[in-house]
């Protein structure tokens, strides 16, 4: 149970459990700092199974998806955002002037491509929004973990400086993750 401080509470400056401008908490004196924890969530095994099944369904519904190399992407002409309105304009003009459409242009296939392009735009917008949320949350969770690990590492480093028994071995095992400088390869992990 937390108890508020009073002027004459008989607590001294560095007493165990004393908190500056706060209260003591006898049951949990080591409460984590809230600003170091941006995300606090979990997924059940069933949640993961359901979502992986949903991704599998999406992949199954899009069997025609392809992967292009970077070189193919650079060489391939495309309708991009700077060509906004191109599909509508060409659809109208080609419909109004069928005599100017080359005979080797498959008009029904072009209409099919235009419909698919619009559908893929919708799917891409939804997927990009989901991917952005997943990527940002992934980064925030990694940051939460990094800050906790850094706190532990700094504590171990101080313990090693003060010759706390066993701290040197722990510090040697952890410091490779916090090396500064442009070393080509990280130092090898210490042998147990």
As given in the structure block, the two tokens for residue 48 are 């993961």
**Alpha-carbon distances of 134 from 27, 60, 144, 173, rounded to whole Å:** 36, 22, 15, 31
Query: pLDDT confidence of 36, banded at 50, 70, 90?
Result: confident
User: What band does 84 get if pLDDT is binned at 50, 70 and 90?
Assistant: confident
The structure's pTM equals 0.65
| C-beta pairs of 61-70 under 8 Å, 24+ apart in sequence | none
pLDDT > 90 in the chain, percent: 64
- Mean pLDDT across the stretch 53-67? 95
Mean pLDDT value across residues 50-65: 96
pLDDT of residue 26: 46
Q: What is the pLDDT of residue 34?
A: 54
- Residue 87, judged by CB atoms within 10 A of its CB (0-12, 13-18, 19+), counts as middle
Closest to 105 (Cα-Cα) out of 121, 90, 88, 85: 90
Give dist(CA 42, CA 31) in Å, integer: 20
């Amino acid at each position: 149970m937390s108890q508020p401080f009073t002027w004459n509470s008989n607590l001294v400056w560095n007493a165990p459990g004393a908190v500056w401008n706060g209260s003591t908490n006898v049951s949990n004196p080591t409460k984590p700092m809230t600003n170091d924890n941006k995300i606090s969530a979990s997924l059940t095994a069933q949640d993961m199974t359901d979502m992986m099944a949903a991704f599998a369904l999406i992949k199954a519904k899009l069997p025609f998806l392809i992967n292009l190399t970077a070189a193919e992407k650079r060489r391939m002409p495309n309708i991009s955002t700077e060509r906004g309105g191109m599909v509508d304009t060409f659809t109208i003009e080609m419909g109004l002037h069928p005599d100017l459409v080359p005979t080797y242009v498959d008009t029904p296939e072009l209409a099919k491509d235009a419909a698919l392009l619009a559908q893929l735009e919708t799917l891409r917008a939804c997927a990009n929004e989901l991917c952005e949320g997943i990527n940002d949350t992934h980064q925030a969770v990694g940051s939460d973990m990094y800050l906790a690990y850094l706190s532990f590492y700094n504590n171990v480093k101080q313990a090693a400086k003060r010759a706390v028994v066993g701290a040197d071995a722990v510090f040697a095992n952890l410091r490779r993750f916090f090396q500064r400088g442009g070393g080509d390869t990280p130092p090898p992990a210490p042998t147990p």
